[in-house]
Structure 1
Amino acid sequence: MIDNALRPEARSLRINDEAPGFSARSTAGEVSLADYRGRWVLFFSHPADFTPVCTSEIIAFARAKERFAAFDCDLLGVSVDGLYSHLAWLRDVERTFGIQVEFPLIEDPSMAIAQAYGMLDSASPSSATVRAAYVIDPKGVIRAIVWYPTNIGRSVDELLRLVEALQVSQSEGASTPEGWRSGGVLLELPATTMKEAAATGEVTGAWYYRERIT
């Protein structure tokens, strides 16, 4: 059930939008997005159960669950497959690969959640969603959106880096440069006045590229 699903004529979701709320059955029981308020959430979709790329991803997410938890970030998966398909798939993953998937995997057979998040529009010729991931902050605001095609697997390490970078940028009031990793150099926010621009960076000497000195 969608709390505030987008209408077909509404614009697509964007960064800084409120994440559409929902309640649905999952492999961990009934879940609601509102249950996660106060924590970060990586909400991700996969096109279908029992498929090779999705299997590789679900295993990688399961292995990284505690690494996300270290950033107060919960994992929440969804696909248009039904609950019994999810249960059968995850049981087979455990039996075949020895991996327990301990985060909820939501069913969305009506495709209401997929459509609310723009993973699947009303004119789509099939029910296969893109590989979408949404980083949702503790206030329920979408802070990042990442989409992959169905045939390309995502990097769980990159999604972890993204979550940490968002948190550090927020807490430090700074930006992160290309390829930033934990403990790396931060960048001061861009100058917006001539006075700020005159205070050149101590490292580069460029007013538009100021590394934070720690």
Structure 2
Amino acid sequence: MSLRLGDTAPDFEQDSSIGRIRFHDWLGDSWGVLFSHPADFTPVCTTELGLTAKLASEFERHNVKTVTLSVDSAQSHVEWIRDINETQSANVGFPIIADGDRKVSQLYDMIHPNASDTFTVRSLFVIDPKKKVRLTITYPASTGRNFDEVLRVIDSLQLTDHYQVATPGNWKHGDDVAIVPSPKDEDVIRRKFPKGYRALRPYLRMTPQPDR
């Protein structure tokens, strides 16, 4: 069964490029991005891992740990990391899980038989510190992911967890946000949003991003 938003991300213990990992313990109180790759030593995967490594400071600023997975061995991952670092001018410091037995792939429904019986598709999960799945994205093997979008969604999730707001389409950090419909009392709204707001409709009230 596929994971749905709000489900608890399954725990697992598996070998990786940095040794044995018990996922929930490794994640600790951080947010997490877990994403899969069809195989080591493949072109799109190499660029994705290089990009993730270059974005390390951005993920750290968001209190996010990144971890990836393919069905190849831990030794293969270590050898591949050398290629990634050399070809992408990167320094991969995050673990790559070795999922030769497909244990994690099955837990997270990363193998789609109509696409491939043996290799994982490009699945990605954002997991919060309570170990709840907050975002799922699945790409075909031929298409690389947009990590700017992953960071944008994490920005939105972390903002909307703390304020009664939602982020509009194409929102980016620093843009105005929408006040959720539930606050009705004008005094309450003014206290919660001292920067003011624009009521375009009773249900559509825009306000500057509260934490800026």
Q: What is the TM-score with the length of structure 1 in the denominator?
A: 0.86
**CA distance, structure 2, for counterparts of residue 83 and residue 203 of structure 1:** 54
Q: Indicate the structure with greater strand content.
A: 2
Q: 1:76 aligned to 67, 70, 79, which one?
A: 67
**CA distance, structure 2, for counterparts of residue 166 and residue 157 of structure 1:** 14
* Mapped contact 2:69–2:98 kept (Cα < 8 A): yes
Report Cα offsets for 1:40-81 as digits up to 9, x if no partner: 001111111111111110110010011110010010111111
1:184 equivalent in alignment to 2:175? yes
Q: How many residues align?
A: 200
1:124 CA displacement? 7.0
Aligned-pair identity (%): 35
Structure 1 counterpart of 2:205? 210
Structure 2 residue runs of 5 or longer lacking an equivalent are: 190-195
* Mapped contact 1:79–1:129 kept (Cα < 8 A): yes
Q: What is the TM-score with the length of structure 2 in the denominator?
A: 0.86
Structure 2 counterpart of 1:7? none
Secondary structure of 1:69's counterpart equals helix
1:141 CA displacement? 0.4
Structure 1 residue runs of 5 or longer lacking an equivalent are: 1-10
* Mapped contact 1:37–1:140 kept (Cα < 8 A): no
Structure 2 counterpart of 1:8? none
- The aligned runs of 1:37-186 (5 Å cut-off) are 37-120=28-111, 125-186=116-177
1:205 CA displacement? 3.0
Q: 1:14 aligned to 4, 25, 32, which one?
A: 4
1:123 CA displacement? 8.0
Secondary structure of 2:206's counterpart equals coil
Structure 2 counterpart of 1:26? 16
Structure 2 counterpart of 1:5? none
Secondary structure of 2:162's counterpart equals helix
